[in-house]
Amino acid sequence: MVGNIVLNIQNVDKTFGGLQALSNVNMQIEEGKIHAIIGPNGAGKSTLLNVCIGRLEPTSGTVRFDGEIITGKAPYEINQAGVVRVFQTPEIFPELTILENVMIPALAKRDGAFSFNPFKSMSDETDIFKEAELVLEDMGLIDQMYDHSGSMSRGDKRRLELAMGLVQRPRLLLLDEPTAGMSRADTNATIETLIRIKERGMTKVIIEHDMHVVFSLADKISVLAQGAIIAEGAPDEIRGNPKVQEAYLGGAH
Amino acid sequence: MNFFKLSPRDALLMVVFAAVVLLAPIWMKPFGAAYPDLLQKFAIFGLFAIGFNILFGLTGYLSFGHAAFLGIGSYTTVWTFKLLSMNPIPAVIFGTLVAGLFAVLIGFVSLRRTGIYFSILTLAFAQMCYNLAYSVLTPITNGETGLRVLRDDPMLLDKALGVVQEGSPIGSFFGINMRGYPAFYFCAVILIIGFFISLRIFRSPFGLKLRAIKSNQNRMRYTGFNTRPYLLWAFVISGMYAGMAGSMLAVTDPLAGAERMQWTASGEVVLMTILGGVGTLIGPMLGAVLIKYFENIFSAFNESALHDMFSFLPSWLETVMVTVVHPFVGEGWHLTLGSLFMVIVIFLPGGLVEGATRLFKRRKSDGVTNKNSGSEN
Amino acid sequence: MDAIFLQTLNGLDKGGAYALIALGLTLVFGTLGVVNFAHGALFMLGAFCAVTFQKILTLSKKVKDESITFFDAYKEIPYLEIWFGDTGAAIIDWAVPLSILMAIPVMLLIGLIMERGLIQYFYKRTHAEQILVTFGLAIVIQEIIKSFFGANPIPTPAPDVIAGSANIGSWIGLSDSLVYPYWRMIYLLFALAVIGAVFAFLQFTTFGMVVRAGMADRETVALLGINVERRFTIVFGIAAIVAGLAGVMYTPILPPDYHIGMDFLVLSFVVVVVGGMGSLPGAVAAGFLLGILQSFASMNEVKSIFPGIDQIIIYLVAVVILLVRPRGLLGRKGVMED
């Protein structure tokens, strides 16, 4: 019944000063599934993602990816291992074109963390170009791919951000509120894209506020409140869980 | 056309660049700059700035210590002359490599920090090199007098091959003495090669990655890149360019002094690059030529030359003009230089190349519609 | 022991100059966000305020020299001496300290003109451009000074009464050979007083409070409806005064020439960075620290162990400190890191 565990978060604690941001979080992400993490503001969702990609080190506990401990590794090593994060506020390269923004992660995937040769010609990189083009096509950014990314609209930037994650075809994609601030139409388009990729078998963890998105995508949901997991299960189980309702309604006011 | 793997546009750029450099003795004449000493300086400092731009222009890391590599290149070259041969080829190779070695060490330490902290670290290393070259390293650098080649130096390779030189030692490219126009063409060829390499770097995935580091280094880390080795590699490449330029300074005039390692020399290459246009291909070269041109032409004027220049005016106006212009030339050319920087930075923030592009674009958009002229950045 | 004590003292006055220049530099950076390479020029302008003041006081009249009788000889007697006799002569003798009175308004004016005329347009530009334009300005100022005063250092002596040295060794029960020039002592006290005044001003006045709040978080303060920028302009003026005063008082120690500012600028930048960009106490601490270390390194005993150490000590310390403490001694996170 339980598939292969890709990401295994074990007993993770994180304190900032005296503040307990995560307490004893345990979570197993199954291969090929979409796992949503929901919870009220300040529940520790982003902290958890940051621990997973090496931006933060947990105070105690470990995160294993494919059985290997990744806590304490450099962010680029974790990325090279196959864990890729899509940022909530677009973290793009504003001085570069949209195409270049997508080619960069594709190059990272192919060349590894460092490649020595400074004289290779960009015009020989047809494979990289095609990969980038394909993803841009998927995200509907192909028409403007030679424009500078800095001047894009915020919604387009978020789609670019997603494209930058997808082009690396990671084993595990961590999405931080992929649809926040998007219009309904854009949100639906993003959901469709994510479902399409699900069929290709990429494992995803999604942090999301929008319950519409969560319930139309997730295979499994973990509910985080005040740094701890208070419920976990299939969408239907979570929907009826009184503890979750209390956390959302009681926690908000 | 597949010219050294360049796109047709870049191939054209390369050809034009080479032609402009090689024909400089002709077209520089009307500007009064067609004498070999000055042309050599154009080529040498152009190379220096082109290399500096690979670090500063692509990665955004502002080094304030690149003159150290220039000096190290010069010293190594003079020592190669002294010990091995007056042939400039081994001298330039050693000068470049030794500068590269120093760049590895200095870069490895300095690149642990970013922003102004990086700038100050490079400045500190360069000033240490400079101060030591003047003081305790005198046995190697010959201190204030400067290191020069002497007639009774070993020159082992030359002796072994039976190459003999008359008169005071001068770099000799298989019998061609490295002074005057032959020296300029030697520098010019190296400059063209240097420009080609820089062009290839700009058009490579490596160059793209460097620009991405400049744009958002943190994102690069989360995208799977170990940025430090990329930065170090860029630092070393640009240090080697500086070393090569320093070598050529010593090839054209076999004397190495510590003053070319001082922070003002590092500042000069920063100014050249910014003046021409940071991160553009041709800008740094342009900036180098302009600054060296002003330095040489303006500093050569004196009062009587000015009177000659304005002699076509009525005498009262001549006096006025000479009085106005005089502080800016001769010994006061620094005043011109300072004013020039200010004017450029105030009115052309992106340097000359961007200024030209903007002017060109405005013309074009004025021709089509008048709407968008304000929206360019 | 004596030597160490003496070197500490020697380092302190130089450190005082570093601290004063660095203080203004970091103040301007912390408030306006501008890297001001023309700050050294302000130090130099201060020094030349003293020179000018001295020149004005000694404006002279040619008078027949009565003591020489066998031919007509003339000597120059300053008007002040002619008008006020010995009082006039005393005023001339005290030219350097008195020139502070002139330097304060002049430097304030120069600072305000510089900020309103040029610097204010560079708040939002890149640091590289700020460096370039202020560097250009520094060169222009230097050249103007050079064309008025020439390229040679101009001696500006301290008043006669305090020209000698204090026998500081016998004061505190150490060797009699331990002497310290009075003027250096005065310079040190003066530097401390100015630093104290600046800190007090920032600490205890409402104006200072706003400036400190603005240094910490400019946007929030602006949201409160306070015109931060106008205050920052005045801060620039204050920085100019501090640099100018540092220059005025340094003239008896080192006769000023037109590039004295550049010489100090590079070291002051190292001082600021070692102290931590934007940190006032850091700049002061680093100024004195580096001044003292430099004077220790020039002791023969030290030089015989580490040849050449006196030449590189400041830079070496800067490298070590920056590697151990990424943001300098007292720097804040995130300042000037990209």
The stretches of chain A forming alpha helices (DSSP H) are 45-53, 75-81, 98-111, 126-139, 154-166, 184-200, 211-217, 235-239, 242-252
Residue B300 in tokens:
């050569």
What is the model's pLDDT at position B138? 86
**Res. C302: pLDDT tops 70:** yes
Is the distance from CB of B247 to CB of B92 less than 8 angstroms? yes
Torsions phi, psi for A74 (to 5 deg): -70, 150
**Which H/E stretch holds residue A34?**
strand A34-38
Contact C315, C297 (CB under 8 A): no
Contact between B120 and B63 (Cβ < 8 Å): no
At residue B336 the predicted structure's pLDDT band, cuts being 50, 70 and 90, is confident
Question: Could you give the number of structural domains in chain A?
Answer: 2
Q: What is the mean pLDDT of chain A?
A: 86
Rg of chain C's alpha carbons, rounded to an integer? 22
Residue B18, pLDDT above cutoff 60: yes
Closest partner residue to C308 (CB to CB) among B114, B132, B263 is: B132
Is pLDDT of A251 > 50? no
Secondary element (H or E) of residue C137: helix C127-149
Q: What is the pLDDT of residue A253?
A: 39
Under 8 Å CB pairs connecting chains B and C tally to 125
Place of tokens 């890191």: C337
Residues A161 and A176 in one domain: no
Q: Which residues of B touch A (CB under 8 A)?
A: 5-7, 197, 200-201, 203-209, 211-212, 214-216, 218-227, 229-230, 233, 237
Query: Would the CB atoms of B123 and C270 count as touching at under 8 Å?
Result: yes
In degrees rounded to 5, what are phi and psi of residue A55? -75, -35
H or E element, residue B364: helix B351-368
- Sign of the torsion angle spanned by Cα atoms C211, C217, C219, C221: negative
Instruction: Show the domain range for C111.
Output: 2-58+102-324
Return the SS3 of C78: strand
Q: What are C295-303's contacts with CB under 8 Å, separation 24+?
A: C295/C7, C295/C8, C295/C10, C295/C11, C295/C14, C296/C4, C296/C7, C296/C8, C296/C11, C298/C7, C299/C3, C299/C7, C301/C3
User: Does residue C127 lie within any of the structural domains?
Assistant: yes
Give the nearest partner residue to B226 out of A95, A113, A119, using CB atoms.
A113
Q: In a 3-state reduction of DSSP, which class is residue C86?
A: helix
* Domain extent for A47: 1-82+170-253
Q: What is the pLDDT of residue A133?
A: 93
Read off the pLDDT of residues A220-232 as tens digits, 9 standing for 90 and up: 999 988 888 888 8
Structure tokens at A31: 């291969």
Q: What is the mean pLDDT of residues A10-34?
A: 88
Q: Which residue has the higher pLDDT, C179 or A233?
A: A233
Q: How confident is the model at residue B1 (pLDDT cuts 50, 70, 90)?
A: very low
Most confidently predicted of A162-171, A210-219, B152-161, C324-333: A162-171
Matching residue, tokens 């990655």: B209
Tokens (6 digits) for C48:
């030349």
For range A120-145, the mean pLDDT: 89
Task: Determine whether C184 is exposed, middle or buried from the number of CB atoms within 10 Å of its CB (0-12, 13-18, 19+).
Answer: buried
Cα distance between residue A232 and residue B2, in whole Å = 60
Mutation target vs A (from B5, B213, B223, B235; most A CBs, 10 A cutoff): B223
**pLDDT reported for residue B101:** 97
Q: Give CA–CA dist A114/A104, Å, rounded.
A: 12
Least-confidence region, from B47-51, B182-186, B212-216, B262-266: B262-266
Out of C35, C133, C326, closest to residue B341 by CB: C133
| Mean pLDDT in residue range B156-161 | 83
Where is the domain boundary, A146, A169, A192? Answer: A169
Cα(C132)–Cα(C134) distance, integer angstroms:
6
What letter does residue B30 receive in the DSSP assignment? G
Burial A118-156 (b: 16+ CB within 10 A, else e): bebebeebeebbebbbbbbebbebeebbeebbeebeebb
- A221, A214 Cβ separation under 8 angstroms: yes
For all residues of chain B together, what is the average pLDDT? Answer: 87
Do the Cβ atoms of B215 and A96 come closer than 8 Å?
yes
* Helix or strand run (H / E) with residue B225: none
Same domain, yes or no: A138 and A215: no
Residue of C nearest to B112 (CA): C323
Give the confidence band of C231 by pLDDT, cuts at 50, 70, 90: confident
Three-state DSSP class for residue B95: helix
pLDDT digits 0-9 by tens, B346-369: 888 788 888 888 888 776 665 544
Token match 């649809």: residue? A179
Which of A149, A169, A189 delimits the end of a domain? A169
Helix (H, G, I), strand (E, B) or coil at C301: helix
Distance separating alpha carbons of residues A226 and C134, to the nearest angstrom: 51
Asked if B342 reaches chain C (Cβ–Cβ under 8 Å), the answer is yes
How much is the pLDDT for C141? 93
- Whether residue C40 contacts residue C21, with contact meaning beta carbons closer than 8 Å, is answered with yes
Q: Are residues A104 and A74 in the same domain?
A: no
How do residues C114-160 score in pLDDT, each as one tens digit? 999 999 888 888 877 888 889 889 989 998 998 888 888 888 888 87
Q: Which chains touch A (3 or more CB pairs under 8 A)?
A: B
SS3 C260: helix
Q: Does residue B338 belong to the interface with chain C, where contact is any CB pair within 8 Å?
A: yes
Structure tokens at C183: 């003027």
> Which chain B residues have a beta carbon less than 8 Å from that of A162?
none
Mean pLDDT for the stretch of residues B58-74: 94
Q: Which two tokens stand for residue B131?
A: 């101060």
| Spatial CB neighbours of A189, under 8 Å, sequence gap ≥ 6 | A140
Q: Taking CB atoms and an 8 Å cutoff, what residues of chain C touch B133?
A: none
Quick one: A28 and A5 in the same domain?
A: yes
* Packing angle of the helix pair A126-139, A154-166 (nearest 10 deg): 130
- List chain B domain ranges: 8-262
pLDDT band at A2 (very low <50, low <70, confident <90, very high): low
Of C156, C189, C150, the closest CA to residue C49 belongs to: C156
Specify the pLDDT at position C70.
76
What three-state secondary structure class fits C163? coil
Among chain B residues, CA nearest to A118 = B206
B115:C336 CB<8 A: yes
Between chains, do A114 and B221 touch, taking CB under 8 Å as contact? no
| Residues linked to residue B173 through DSSP beta bridges, in sequence order | B176
Spatial strand order in the sheet of A5-16: A19-30, A5-16, A60-65, A68-69
The more confidently predicted of residues B172 and B118 is B118
Backbone angles phi, psi at A61, to 5 degrees: 95, 170
Which secondary-structure segment (H or E) carries B14?
helix B8-22
Helix (H) or strand (E) holding B373: none
Q: Does A94 contact B212 at a Cβ distance shorter than 8 Å? A: no
d(CA C233, CA C231): 5
Q: What is the DSSP string of B115-159?
A: HHHHHHHHHHHHHHHHHHHHTTTHHHH-GGG-EE--TTS--HHHH
For residue B165, the 8-state DSSP code is -
Give the pTM.
Answer: 0.87
| Buried-exposed string C284-323: b where 16+ CB fall within 10 A, e elsewhere | bbbbbbbbbbbbbbbbeeebeeeebbbbbbbbbbbbebbe
B116 lies within 8 A of chain C by CB: yes
Pairing state between β A203-207 and A172-176: parallel
Q: Judge contact between C26 and C277, C-beta under 8 A.
A: yes
- Please tell me the distance in Å from C174's CA to the nearest CA on chain B: 34
Residues whose CB falls within 8 Å of the CB of residue B98, separated by 6 or more in sequence, listed in order: B72, B73, B76, B243
Range scoring the smallest mean pLDDT among B328-342, C98-112, C135-149: B328-342
Name the residue in chain B with its Cα closest to that of A90: B219
Q: How many domains does chain C have?
A: 1
Q: Are B238 and B51 in contact (CB under 8 A)?
A: yes
Distance CA A91, CA B220 (A): 10
- Asked whether residue C221 carries a pLDDT value surpassing 90, the answer given is no
Mark which of A169, A202, A221 sits at the end of a domain.
Answer: A169
C22 interfaces chain B, CB cutoff of 8 Å:
no
Token pair belonging to B207: 């160059």
Of B234 and B138, the structure prediction assigns the larger pLDDT to B234
Q: Mean per-residue pLDDT for B126-155? A: 87
B350 CB neighbours in chain A (<8 A) are none
Residue C65 forms part of a structural domain: no
C140 → closest Cβ in B112, B339, B345: B339
Alpha helices in C176-328 (DSSP H): 182-204, 206-216, 218-223, 228-250, 260-275, 280-297, 300-305, 309-324
pLDDT tens across B221-272, in order? 999 999 999 999 999 999 999 999 999 999 998 888 888 898 888 988 988 9
Residues C333 and C327 sit within 8 Å (Cβ to Cβ) = yes
Please answer yes or no on whether B218 and A115 come within 8 Å at the CB atom.
no
pLDDT score at C332: 67
Report residue B97's pLDDT band, with 50, 70 and 90 as the boundaries. very high
Q: What CA–CA distance (Å, rounded) separates B338 from A184?
A: 57
Nearest to B224 among A91, A109, A117 (CB): A109
Which DSSP category does C330 fall into?
Answer: T
Q: Does residue A220 share a domain with residue A122?
A: no
Q: How far apart are CA B75 and CA C61, in angstroms?
A: 57
* Inter-chain CB proximity B206 and A120 less than 8 Å: yes
| CA atoms of A23 and A228, how far apart (whole Å) | 5
Contacts of A115 in chain B (CB under 8 A): 205-206
- Report d(CA C275, CA A172) in Å as an integer: 44
CA C109 to chain centre: 17
Instruction: Say what the pLDDT of residue B369 is.
Output: 42
User: SS3 of B7, please?
Assistant: coil
* pLDDT given at position C240: 95
Count H helices and E strands in chain C, helices first. 15, 4
Model pLDDT for residues B209-225, shown as the tens digit of each residue: 999 999 999 999 999 99
pLDDT at B377 over 50: no
Nearest to B229 among A79, A114, A128 (CB): A114
- Which of A34-38, B306-310, C330-334 reaches the highest mean pLDDT? A34-38
Closest to A176 (Cα-Cα) out of A36, A13, A75:
A36
- Whether C311 and chain B come into contact, CB under 8 Å, resolves to yes
Predicted local confidence at residue C173, as pLDDT: 67
Least CB-CB distance to B349: which of C129, C138, C323? C129
Asked if pLDDT for residue C245 goes beyond 90, the answer is yes
Query: Distance between CA B318 and CA B308 in Å, rounded?
Result: 9
Asked whether residue C177 is domain-assigned, the answer is yes
Most confident of B44-48, B305-309, C33-37, C64-68: B44-48
Q: Which residues of B touch C132 (CB under 8 A)?
A: 270-271, 274, 341, 345
Query: How many angstroms separate the CA atoms of B148 and C254, rounded?
Result: 34
- What does pLDDT average to over chain C? 84
